[in-house]
Structure 1
Amino acid sequence: MPLLIDPWSLPDPVQDCAPSEGVRVAVLAGGCFWCTEAVFTALDGVTDVKPGYAGDSSLTADYRTVCSGRTNHAEVIKITYDAAKLSYGQLLKLFFGVAHDPTQKDRQGNDVGRQYRSAIFYHTPEEQAVARAYIRQLDAAKIYSGPIMTSLEPLEAFYEAEPEHHDYAARNPHSPYIAHVSTPKVEKLMLYFPERLKR
């Protein structure tokens, strides 16, 4: 994974969604949803995280079919958050800074295929504009050793994953995959952004 030049200086988004009260939802794809779920579940202001699929038909929204690589689905997480505590732009900052490697195209490490792509599934034109502006901001600052490959895609539908995939990392902490891929991401969050953690 390309290292951030200076993780502590990862910039806040210059452009962000307008402040608001109440609950909002973001849908992000950053490789295996077991790993991204573990990162965002730990954040203060996040009230719920659900793994699932986005990008294709309901007819192919199941784990076996998506993992075959024959669909346009991505493994995603649906993040429900308190917009008074955490902005959309701050979610994106942690998405790019901790949760995955946005410079890899159609893969994350050894997980290869379009289902593991880096993508932001936006709900509104405002979310699209904020995400596009932040990608440009990070690329211009040369935060990573390569260009960001994250795609911006309109959210047509979110299909919740099967029950066995929910809270997978928390339920399987000794799994080699979780220990080597998911846990380091959570540790990175704890190291670089301790002020963002649930108390």
Structure 2
Amino acid sequence: MTRRWFALLPLAAALLAGCGVSGPAAADGVVRLPDPRLDPPPAQPGEQVAVFAGGCFWGVEAVFDHVRGVRRAWSGYAGGAADTATYEQVSDGDTGHAESVKVIYDPRQVSYGQLLKVFFAVAHDPTQRNRQGPDVGSQYRSVIFYATPQQQRVADAYIAQLTAAHAFAAPIVTQVTPLQGFYTAEAYHQNYAAQHPDSPYIVYNDAPKVAHLKQWLPALYRTPTQTVDVQLQ
């Protein structure tokens, strides 16, 4: 399904699609999730890879571009085969792909568990199955694509922790799936929110996510200073 969001603009405005507003909020409106109890340092030194899917990749990428310790982020596709990793095919919803974001991060500045906290708190709504706000289809499902067994353990443990704490009013439907491949999306999707800040879709759906990151998790927020390289090895 392509983004026929013009017809859904009133709904998008009302829901602030996928911006985390359905999470646990205190009286001041701030979403508060606990830090992951299981969050060990990676087994190998150096930059690490994390891949998340949570609705339209424009907004998820915009959030992680603003996270301290994130070196690069790309929009792309994961969950399906290489020969179907094009926007037109993925938009049909039957390729097995989810719109995803690949994050390269420095674990000396931000841990995998902290990235998970950002993912659940502000990047998307983990209680929506096969949709985020006005975007509907399996390509918009919530997925953590783990790159290592340790990432799988941390992700599973954090979901269990949030579930036990009743952190969300509805069940978490996020899948935890091994990363088989990540395929970079077309160049015009990269850094889309930053390049199109006045787009109604970005204004209603994605800009609030970045604003909530700054408001709710200020210690993890930064202003991006580098241009994201769309070439991914």
Question: Which residue is 2:37 aligned to?
Answer: 14
Q: How far, CA to CA, are the matches of 2:148 and 2:63 in structure 1?
A: 24
Question: Which residue is 1:61 aligned to?
Answer: 85
Gaps of at least 5 residues in structure 2 are 1-20, 224-233
- Say whether the 8 Å CA contact 1:24–1:83 is kept in structure 2: yes
Deviation at 1:113, TM superposition (A): 0.4
Deviation at 1:146, TM superposition (A): 0.5
Specify the code of the residue in structure 2 equivalent to 1:87: S
Report the more deviating stretch, 11-20 or 106-115.
Answer: 11-20
TM-score (norm 1): 0.96
- Picking from 52, 67, 71, the partner of 1:47 is 71
Deviation at 1:3, TM superposition (A): 3.0
Q: How far, CA to CA, are the matches of 1:110 and 1:50 in structure 2?
A: 22
- The 1:176/1:9 distance shift into structure 2, 3 A limit, reads closer
Q: How far, CA to CA, are the matches of 2:148 and 2:48 in structure 1?
A: 12
- Say whether the 8 Å CA contact 1:15–1:89 is kept in structure 2: yes
- Say whether the 8 Å CA contact 2:76–2:99 is kept in structure 1: yes
Q: Any idea what the Cα deviations from partners look like across 1:57-89, whole Å, max 9, x if unmatched?
A: 111000010011121100000000001010000
Q: How far, CA to CA, are the matches of 1:170 and 1:17 in structure 2?
A: 33
Query: Which stretches of structure 1, 4 residues or more, deviate above 4 A after TM superposition?
Result: none
Deviation at 1:9, TM superposition (A): 3.5
- The 1:74/1:8 distance shift into structure 2, 3 A limit, reads closer
Q: How many residues align?
A: 199
Question: Which residue is 2:122 aligned to?
Answer: 98
Q: Any idea what the Cα deviations from partners look like across 1:106-165, whole Å, max 9, x if unmatched?
A: 110110000000000001111111100000100111111111000011000000001000
Q: How far, CA to CA, are the matches of 2:111 and 2:71 in structure 1?
A: 13
- Partner-residue secondary structure (3-state), 2:129: coil
**Alignment pair present for 1:4 and 2:24:** yes
RMSD: 1.3
Specify the code of the residue in structure 2 equivalent to 1:4: P
Deviation at 1:194, TM superposition (A): 1.3
- Say whether the 8 Å CA contact 1:21–1:84 is kept in structure 2: no
Q: How far, CA to CA, are the matches of 2:122 and 2:31 in structure 1?
A: 11
Question: Which residue is 1:109 aligned to?
Answer: 133
**Alignment pair present for 1:80 and 2:104:** yes
Q: How far, CA to CA, are the matches of 2:23 and 2:65 in structure 1?
A: 23
Deviation at 1:195, TM superposition (A): 1.5
In the TM superposition, 1:155-194 aligns within 5 A as 155-194=179-218
Q: How far, CA to CA, are the matches of 1:195 and 1:133 in structure 2?
A: 23
Question: Which residue is 1:121 aligned to?
Answer: 145
- Partner-residue secondary structure (3-state), 2:116: helix
Question: Which residue is 1:195 aligned to?
Answer: 219
Question: Which residue is 1:133 aligned to?
Answer: 157
- Say whether the 8 Å CA contact 1:21–1:82 is kept in structure 2: no
Higher-helix-fraction structure = 1
TM-score (norm 2): 0.83
Q: How far, CA to CA, are the matches of 1:8 and 1:118 in structure 2?
A: 19
- Say whether the 8 Å CA contact 1:39–1:189 is kept in structure 2: yes
